[in-house]
Amino acid sequence: MSRTSSIRAGQARAGWLFVSPTLVVLGLFLAVPVLMALWVSFTDWNGRGSPFASGVGFVGADNYRELVGEQGGLTRADFMTSLRNNFYYVLLVVPLQTALALFLALVLNQKMLKAVGFFRTAFYFPSVVSSVAISLVFLFLFTGGGVVNTMLGWVGLDGPTWFNDSRGLLHLLGDGLGLWSISDPPSGLVDGGVLGLTWWQWLSGPSVALSVIIFLVVWTTTGTFMLMFLAALQDLPVEVEEAAMIDGAGRWGVFRNVTLPHLRPTMLLVTTLGLIGTWQVFDQVYVMTQGGPGKTTLTPAFLSYFYAFENQKWGVAAAMAFVLFLIIFAMASFQRWLFRDKDQPSARRARDFFARQQGSHSGTEAV
Amino acid sequence: MSTTSPHRLASLAALALVTSVALAACGGGGFDDGNSDEPASSGDGPAQLKVLIASSGDAETKAVEDAVAAWADDSGNEAEVIVANDIAQQLSQGFAGGNPPDLFYVDAGVFGDYAEAGNLYPYLDQMDGADDFYPNLVDSFTLDDEAYCAPKDFSTLALEINTAAWKKAGLGDDDIPTTWDELQSVAEKLTTPEQAGLVIGVGRDRVGAFLVQNGGFWVDGETGEATATEPSNVEALDYVQGLLKSGAAVLPPDIDAGWGGEGFGTQKAAMTIEGNWIRGAMSNDYPDVDYTVAELPEGPAGKGTLLFTQCWGIAADSPNQEAAVSLVEALTTADQQLANAKAFGVMPSRESAQADYVEQFPEDAPFIAGGDYGQGPVNLPGLGPVVADLDSQLEQLKTADVDQILESFQKNAEAELQ
């Protein structure tokens, strides 16, 4: 007994020894900075010297209160605007890129397709090009007199000045449908509001400028996710699909009942990575718009950078980062719950049922 | 499972301990936080200076490198010029780490934040010839009556006029606008279906000039109070809005331009209000466009323009402050500033250099004249997000409610300044 436990103890020691380099590196470059930032978010540190120095004041949750509380004023309005923008961004980017990636992967997985290598490279290409370079190209494509507007002109459309257009898509849609007028928004929506923004501002939808960024990001990230789907699709044994077909399933039936369930783990991976990545969008905003026009491309990650590095408001900026972390954590958890294996509980129930059956059986035997 | 949990608890405790030790190490040993109050070191032995600059290009880098090297040779010190990729970020790292560069560019717009945080060493009073700098520039680097750093150079706004369009509209030399009414009338005359009369850049850094011409500004730098809602400011913004509404003036996005200079260079507008940096853009990108420069028209309260400037900041944590001050003296002599003017087109910050500058660059006289009556940017600490919000609202100046813009700025600024 004592022998086995000492062997186990030795194993544990060796285990810790083997993981210690990784633990030290992760701790030093991940855990320590995160904990320092957490501390900063509770102080009035002004960026000078160590945040642990004696002169730095602990302000409790003041920085967080400024983000969500009544006294926040402009800071709260800025932060809520950035959350609104990012919410619409996530709402559009994640489904679009997932659907497009799945579609491209299915196309590439066809056995009939010629030149698969070429298409795979072509679709994957945008993902491996620097996002800064692509952003610059998009800036040129979407200037007021740029290529895109010229091409729209050929079909008789007068394109907007994309990156200078702060009008929200939902506002425009409502205007087009005659629900409201943008120049004279309904007073019911303008007068009331929550968290520093009016209902009218909350309901703006992504602005035209943000839509261009959405388009760009969907285009660039789809390739990576397509590759993940493709790898999963190639794992699916052909025999299974054939068996389903022999059982009388059509193409749609095979896709719905065989392919999609098989892809569920990949789908969870893709949507989770997509969700995390989209809530942290920074590069494109930094390069292309710096939050403008009219703050409609402001995102929490960029706002946090702006408050910290350009305005020395480190505490509030760190608090923004942690609120963003909580949002991402909550949404990723919710997503995991949505994607949980729904067969499992019933399987457990079945097992319990059989266990109970057996129990009662043995019970009667005992009697 | 249950037997391993004490082990796991112990491991977690060990991990927590290690982490907190690492945190403490970062806090205590890594950074020198207490030395700011100690006097700067005397000149024992040669000092090694780090100079961080945000360069506009090779010409500027070379000019600064040469000047710094010459000083190093003369004084027997060592100095290294580092060109920043992102100066705000690199300075922040230095300030937080306790080892900032000794000498660096500080823009007037961020000066207040740096000074308030105690990152800057105020040295202007110990500098030789400090009273020769334009007072308006020194004001841009003054916080709570303390002048911190020496202005490196400056730029001002003036009115650029497309010569061909001017002639085509039948206007002569006498018609150069000197009042708001004249500006309005020439802008209207210059407006054609293909060309706007005047393009004004978006935001406080252009529109603000009209506030100055009407005797007001967004804030009062001396008292440290927001003054946006003064009637004079409302009037000035109303005037600009009137220009925009009448079609005599447009904003750059209206003519598919990124900034005033682009709209002017592509000849989609006949006039613009920009600073002397437009010279470089015009000669590089639009060499065929002939233009003249005039001082901005006077408003009801007289002449007014905006100043943009940077100073040579010395770090409060620098151990070589004495040597750094001597380097700044060498870098801001009238001769050195004239050499910089030639190399990369900035204007000297010393009044004594003005006559020589005008002699060498007569066509820039309207720009440098602004040094006497220009107004520096909003430099009160903590106002960054507030002025960013103002800029974002000014994008819609043509249709927006002027009172509402000024009131919201006033409210936000007051909340920050109290």
Please give the residue of chain B at the shortest CA–CA distance from A71. B415
Confidence at residue B41, expressed as pLDDT on a 0 to 100 scale? 45
- Residue labelled with tokens 């009137």: B242
The answer to whether the Cβ–Cβ distance between B412 and A73 falls below 8 Å is: yes
Query: What whole-number distance in Å separates Cα of residue B60 and Cα of residue B62?
Result: 5
Banded model confidence at residue A188, pLDDT cuts 50, 70, 90: confident
What residues contact B347, with CB distance under 8 A and at least 6 apart?
Answer: B153, B154, B155, B156, B276, B341, B357, B364, B367, B368, B371
Confidence at residue B120, expressed as pLDDT on a 0 to 100 scale? 95
Query: ipTM exceeding 0.85?
Result: no
Confidence at residue A111, expressed as pLDDT on a 0 to 100 scale? 78
- Residue labelled with tokens 């839509």: A211
Q: Is B401 on the interface with A (CB under 8 A)?
A: no
Confidence at residue B30, expressed as pLDDT on a 0 to 100 scale? 38
B29: burial class by Cβ within 10 Å (0-12, 13-18, 19+)?
exposed
Angle (CA) A172 A177 A180, round 5°: 65
Structure tokens at B376: 């520096």
Confidence at residue A5, expressed as pLDDT on a 0 to 100 scale? 59
Banded model confidence at residue A349, pLDDT cuts 50, 70, 90: low
Query: What whole-number distance in Å separates Cα of residue B22 and Cα of residue A32?
Result: 7
Query: Which of B116, B257, B385 shows the shortest C-beta gap to A78?
Result: B385
Rounded mean pLDDT of B2-31?
51
pTM of the model: 0.86
Instruction: Return the closest-CA partner of residue A164 out of A293, A285, A284, A288.
Output: A293
Banded model confidence at residue A187, pLDDT cuts 50, 70, 90: confident
The answer to whether the Cβ–Cβ distance between A74 and B89 falls below 8 Å is: no
Q: Is B96 on the interface with A (CB under 8 A)?
A: yes
Instruction: Return the closest-CA partner of residue B322 out of B81, B104, B126, B120.
Output: B126
Rounded mean pLDDT of A154-159?
87
What residues contact A230, with CB distance under 8 A and at least 6 apart?
Answer: A105, A108, A109, A120
Rounded mean pLDDT of A130-155?
89
SS3 B152: strand
Separation in Å, CA A150 to CA A140, A213, B262: 12, 19, 19
Confidence at residue B5, expressed as pLDDT on a 0 to 100 scale? 53
Q: Is B25 on the interface with A (CB under 8 A)?
A: no
B-contacting residues in A 27-66 (Cβ below 8 Å): 27-28, 31-32, 35-36, 46-55
Q: Is A311 on the interface with B (CB under 8 A)?
A: yes
What residues contact B37, with CB distance under 8 A and at least 6 apart?
Answer: none
Query: What whole-number distance in Å separates Cα of residue A249 and Cα of residue A257?
Result: 9
Asked if B263 and B255 touch (Cβ cutoff 8 Å), the reply is yes
Rounded mean pLDDT of B255-273?
92
At B127-174, the pLDDT tens digits run 888 899 999 999 999 998 999 999 999 999 999 999 999 999 999 889
The answer to whether the Cβ–Cβ distance between A313 and B382 falls below 8 Å is: yes
Confidence at residue B218, expressed as pLDDT on a 0 to 100 scale? 95
Confidence at residue A350, expressed as pLDDT on a 0 to 100 scale? 63
Asked if A75 and A66 touch (Cβ cutoff 8 Å), the reply is yes
At A176-185, the pLDDT tens digits run 898 888 888 8
- Residue labelled with tokens 């200037």: A143
The answer to whether the Cβ–Cβ distance between B117 and A36 falls below 8 Å is: no
Please give the residue of chain B at the shortest CA–CA distance from A28. B22
- Residue labelled with tokens 């600009």: B240
Asked if the model's pLDDT at residue B27 lies above 80, the reply is no
Banded model confidence at residue A360, pLDDT cuts 50, 70, 90: low
Banded model confidence at residue A364, pLDDT cuts 50, 70, 90: very low
Confidence at residue A366, expressed as pLDDT on a 0 to 100 scale? 41
Q: Give the 3-state DSSP-derived string for A107-140, with helices as H, strands as E and coil as C.
A: HHCCCCCCCHHHHHHHHHHHHHCCHHHHHHHHHH
The answer to whether the Cβ–Cβ distance between A52 and B27 falls below 8 Å is: yes
Banded model confidence at residue B38, pLDDT cuts 50, 70, 90: very low
Domains, chain B, with CATH or none: 6-155+308-372 (3.40.190.10), 157-306+380-417 (3.40.190.10)
SS3 B367: helix
Confidence at residue A1, expressed as pLDDT on a 0 to 100 scale? 47
A-contacting residues in B 329-358 (Cβ below 8 Å): none
Asked if B382 and B112 touch (Cβ cutoff 8 Å), the reply is yes
Give A297's contacts in chain B (Cβ within 8 Å).
none
Instruction: Return the closest-CA partner of residue A324 out of A305, A350, A347, A296.
Output: A305
Q: What is the DSSP string of A254-318?
A: HIIIIIHHHHHHHHHHHHHHHHHHHHT--HHIIIIITT-STTTT--HHHHHHIIIIIT--HHHHH
SS3 A149: helix
Confidence at residue A248, expressed as pLDDT on a 0 to 100 scale? 87
Asked if the model's pLDDT at residue A334 lies above 50, the reply is yes
Confidence at residue A10, expressed as pLDDT on a 0 to 100 scale? 83
Does residue B213 come out as left (phi exceeding 0), alpha (psi in the -120 to 50 range) or beta?
Answer: alpha
State the angle between helix axes of B204-213 and B231-246 in degrees (0 to 180), rounded to the nearest 10.
120
Tell me which of A246-260, A337-351, B13-27, B85-99 is least confident: B13-27
Angle (CA) B201 B239 B405, round 5°: 70
Please give the residue of chain B at the shortest CA–CA distance from A312. B113
Q: What do you get for the CA distance between the two ends of chain B, in Å?
A: 58
At A15-53, the pLDDT tens digits run 999 999 999 999 999 999 999 999 999 999 988 888 888
- Give CB contacts under 8 A, 24+ apart, made by A133-137: A134/A216, A134/A220, A135/A216, A135/A283, A135/A284, A135/A287, A135/A288, A136/A287
Structure tokens at A340: 């949980």
Tell me which of A304-313, B20-29, B71-80, B370-379 is least confident: B20-29
Give A141's contacts in chain B (Cβ within 8 Å).
none
Q: Report phi then psi at B106, rounded to 5.
A: -130, 120
In sequence order, which ranges of A131-186 are alpha helices (DSSP H)?
131-141, 147-154, 169-177
DSSP class of B202: S
Structure tokens at B104: 């660096």
Confidence at residue A3, expressed as pLDDT on a 0 to 100 scale? 52
At B86-122, the pLDDT tens digits run 899 999 999 988 899 999 999 999 999 999 999 999 9
Confidence at residue B211, expressed as pLDDT on a 0 to 100 scale? 96
Confidence at residue A146, expressed as pLDDT on a 0 to 100 scale? 84
Banded model confidence at residue A341, pLDDT cuts 50, 70, 90: confident
Q: Which helix (H) or strand (E) holds A225?
A: helix A208-235
What residues contact A57, with CB distance under 8 A and at least 6 apart?
Answer: A43, A44
Q: What is the mean pLDDT of chain A?
A: 88
Cis peptide before B377 (omega within 30 of 0): no
At B40-58, the pLDDT tens digits run 444 456 889 999 999 888 8
